[in-house]
Amino acid sequence: MSDNTSSYYAEIGGDFKGIQGDISGGTINQYIVTQKSGVEIRSQPLIPGSPYVGLTKFKGKDKDKFFGRDGQILSLSNYLEQNKLLLLMGVSGSGKSSLILAGLIPHFEDKWGTSKFSHLIFDPTEDPFKSLDRNIPNEYRHIVGDLTSESTEDILVRLVDGINQDYEEQLIFIDQFEELFTLTPPDKQELFIKCLLRLIEQKNSSIHLVMTMRSDFLGSLSPYPELATALEKHIRIIKDMTRNELRLAIAEPAARNHVIFEGNLVEIIIDDFLGQAGSLPLLQYTLDLLWQRDKELDGLTDQVLNLSTYQDKDFGGVGGALQKQANIIYKKLNPDEQKVAQKIFLELVDIVDEKRVSKPVQLKTFQDGGVQEKVVNILIEKRLLVRGTDESDKRPIVQVAHEELLRSWDILDALFKEKEDILLLRRRLVTDAKEWDELRKQDPLKAINALILNVPKLTKIINLAKEQSLPNLDALTTEFIKASIKYQNQVQAIEAERKQREVSTELSLANSLGRYSLSLFDTHHELEAFVEAIKAGKILQKHKATDGKVIDALHKVLVKGSERNRLEGHDSINSISFSPDGKTLASGSADKTIKLWNVETGEEIRTIKTHYTSANSISFSPDGKTLASGGEDKTIKFWNVETGEEIRTLDGHNYDVNSVSFSPDGKTLASGSGDKTIKLWNVETGEEIHTLQ
């Protein structure tokens, strides 16, 4: 190593002490270009491509761009030589995946040699077995068979035993382990956990199992106590990078392309990064953008990244570069394209345990040959979205470049808050659909129960679909919704048919009671005739139906009945109404009275003297305590059923009041008049609310 005082790294305030690990292996001991002076670095021809990865994570191919993590690589390496299990945790954007992919694994390759060291990398995704199957080397595929059709608890054990025949050391890396709890359906989730436990229990020191997981999903382990117990002693937290480590991570990639930073720009970037609880993807995005901007301005002919570019008001620094650039890209879209962009981002996000997470979607979803495809291509070109390959079926996918975008861009933040209920509904639907699909494979009868979505949820889904407000759903979820609606329609049709049969039966009974009442009356059994006629009338009122026999019976019994049961003083009956409990009948007459009758006995309870002229219409309130009447004197009156006393008189119509009716909640009364108006009244105050003409 050259003298620290003459190096470019020293010029920007760096100190190599503690940066370079004293172990063998190219990843740690690779040559540090910033040991040279700035002049010496710039004396070499420019390599124009950006050495920064932007929002995407570092991968194995990026190991020569990955700097500043030497201490943690060494620490994890030493740990795994003594332990076979590691769960690396940290917040989103802390660099967990990059540390393993571009740091630890390349270090082991250099340390043990690729002839002795084998590694297998996969994410859980929606199906960890398909993901594993996609990444198994072909020469070992025969060991486990077709994982896409059938999986057993010993799959991982059999796989590593097979690979162990050819390699002395193995590392299985499960990246983004939280996906097992956010994307994987319960049945596959439980089976995969059993597979992991079998592997962990196996006593084989040559197998190293490494997983990364966001720290805010630690609670997801709680429902699986065996797994939590196995992991709890092997959790390591990724550490924040020191200033020296950040300095190397910032300056070294540029120096390897023979470019340096102007003056104290590196220190300014570090201050900005640390000052806003920085995310490493944001830092990489900012550095990549700085490179692109200076390259656009002068082609980087001076091989210097400029302070003025970084401090330009349109750049935004580490804290604002992503948002500013995203806003610029968004504002260049026309209004229709902006709406499409919003729908695309809604497709690519999910909410799990109240946290926003990225959701990969097949690229063909957006390839409509129109505006949607155009906007997706723009967002990919501008690096807000990235293309990839589905590990389970090798189909092209698209996803948000990094979850940091979901948090740092105010336009998306506002959009997700506005549409949160829709996103949550989609999450529930997708989960329900997967459970239904698994059930119908096992027991079609049980699957029917999964179709019993409540009517309000179905109604909301249908309305959102009509408004095109529900993000595109996958084929399975769409099938589940259609099946649910079909099932609900069948249930409603069966229920409607049952109710119709019930109504027909009861109306037939009412007709029979009417005929029976007339026969009783004709044989001078007036009281019995009255009771049977009332029973028939109650059925008609319940179903708002009319029946000539029943009406004839009621009219004959009530008007022409014997002295014991006739309505005393009634000349003709204009209106009848049952109380809500069906125990009392009120009759309104042209003789200015209303009579209340006991339905069971046929006895008169009370006579109320009402309007100056005929009582045309009467109606009980829903609680049965108040009776309303409308008459030829243009008024409506409220009566206390218990006492028969008048409560209030409502004036407002210019002609006879022919009909009165309470609302179901009893707070409003409607009245219809010969003046061709309907009036709505406040029952409590007696004030007129509206007049309908």
Segment 672-685, tens digit of pLDDT? 998 889 999 999 99
Q: Looking at residue 470, what is its pLDDT?
A: 64
pLDDT surpassing 50 at residue 141: yes
CATH code for 69-237?
3.40.50.300
In 348-452, alpha helices (H): 371-381, 404-408, 410-418, 420-442, 444-450
Q: Which of 26-35, 66-75, 535-544 has the lowest mean pLDDT?
A: 26-35
Fold observed for domain 568-693: Methylamine Dehydrogenase; Chain H (2.130.10)
Q: Which of 3-12, 25-34, 417-426 has the lowest mean pLDDT?
A: 25-34
**Whole-angstrom distance, CA of residue 334 vs CA of residue 597:** 73
Q: From residue 653, how far is each of 23, 677, 684 by CA, in Å?
A: 100, 8, 19
Instruction: Collect all residues with Cβ–Cβ distance below 8 Å to 649 and sequence separation of at least 6.
Output: 635, 636, 637, 638
**Whole-angstrom distance, CA of residue 114 vs CA of residue 173:** 16
Q: Looking at residue 530, what is its pLDDT?
A: 73
Given pLDDT bands bounded at 50, 70 and 90, which one contains residue 37? confident
**CA torsion angle 594 600 603 606 (round to 10):** -40
Given pLDDT bands bounded at 50, 70 and 90, which one contains residue 22? very low
> How does pLDDT run across 454-474, given as a tens digit for each residue?
555 666 776 666 566 666 677
Q: Looking at residue 627, what is its pLDDT?
A: 94
Q: Looking at residue 4, what is its pLDDT?
A: 44
Task: Show the tokens assigned to 504.
Answer: 């027909």
Q: Looking at residue 294, what is its pLDDT?
A: 94
Higher pLDDT, 232 or 30: 232
Phi/psi for 630 (5° steps) reads -125, 140
Q: Looking at residue 213, what is its pLDDT?
A: 96
pLDDT surpassing 90 at residue 77: yes
Find which of 242-251, 394-403, 520-529, 539-548 is predicted with most confidence, using mean pLDDT.
Answer: 242-251
Q: Looking at residue 25, what is its pLDDT?
A: 33
Mean pLDDT of 18-22: 45
Find tokens 């092209």 and name the residue.
Answer: 396
Per the CB < 8 A criterion, the answer to whether 508 and 546 are in contact is: no
Percent of the chain, pLDDT > 70? 86
Phi/psi for 159 (5° steps) reads -65, -50
Sheet holding 646-651, edge to edge: 615-620, 626-631, 635-640, 646-651
Mean pLDDT of 262-285: 87
> How does pLDDT run across 275-313, given as a tens digit for each residue?
765 589 889 999 999 999 999 998 999 999 999 999 998
Higher pLDDT, 459 or 479: 479
Task: Show the tokens assigned to 302.
Answer: 């001076």
pLDDT surpassing 70 at residue 3: no
Q: From residue 24, how far is each of 101, 112, 591, 672 by CA, in Å?
A: 18, 10, 114, 97
Burial class (CB in 10 A: 0-12, 13-18, 19+), 543: middle
Q: Looking at residue 202, what is its pLDDT?
A: 85
pLDDT surpassing 50 at residue 82: yes
Per the CB < 8 A criterion, the answer to whether 55 and 401 are in contact is: yes
SS3 396: strand
Q: Looking at residue 11, what is its pLDDT?
A: 81
Given pLDDT bands bounded at 50, 70 and 90, which one contains residue 396? confident
**Whole-angstrom distance, CA of residue 642 vs CA of residue 627:** 10
SS3 218: helix
Instruction: Collect all residues with Cβ–Cβ distance below 8 Å to 478 and sequence separation of at least 6.
Output: none
Higher pLDDT, 322 or 259: 259
Find which of 254-258, 469-473, 554-558, 586-590 is predicted with most confidence, using mean pLDDT.
Answer: 254-258
Mean pLDDT of 202-213: 89
Task: Show the tokens assigned to 474.
Answer: 């996958």
Going by the DSSP 8-state scheme, the letter that residue 232 receives in this structure is H
Encoded amino acid at 669, one letter: L
> How does pLDDT run across 327-381, given as a tens digit for each residue?
989 999 999 999 999 989 988 888 877 778 888 888 888 888 789 899 999 998 8
pLDDT surpassing 80 at residue 648: yes
Burial class (CB in 10 A: 0-12, 13-18, 19+), 308: exposed
Picking from 315, 326, 69, the residue whose alpha carbon sits closest to that of residue 305 is: 315
Average pLDDT, the chain: 83
Q: Based on DSSP, count helices (H) and strands (E) in the chain, helices before strands.
A: 27, 24
* Domain ranges in the chain with CATH number 2.130.10.10: 568-693
Given pLDDT bands bounded at 50, 70 and 90, which one contains residue 5? very low
pLDDT surpassing 90 at residue 482: no
pLDDT surpassing 70 at residue 611: no
Task: Please count the other Cβ atoms lying within 10 Å of the Cβ belonging to residue 508.
Answer: 12
Q: Which of 194-198, 242-246, 371-375, 385-389 has the lowest mean pLDDT?
A: 385-389
* Domain ranges in the chain with CATH number 3.40.50.300: 69-237
Mean pLDDT of 201-223: 90
Encoded amino acid at 665, one letter: D
pTM of model > 0.75: no
**Whole-angstrom distance, CA of residue 684 vs CA of residue 687:** 8
pLDDT surpassing 90 at residue 152: no
Given pLDDT bands bounded at 50, 70 and 90, which one contains residue 24? very low
Q: How many residues does the chain have?
A: 693
Q: Distance of alpha carbon 357 from its chain centroid, rounded?
A: 11
Q: Distance of alpha carbon 539 from its chain centroid, rounded?
A: 47
> How does pLDDT run across 524-577, given as a tens digit for each residue?
776 677 777 777 777 777 776 666 666 666 666 665 554 444 444 455 678 888
pLDDT surpassing 60 at residue 447: yes
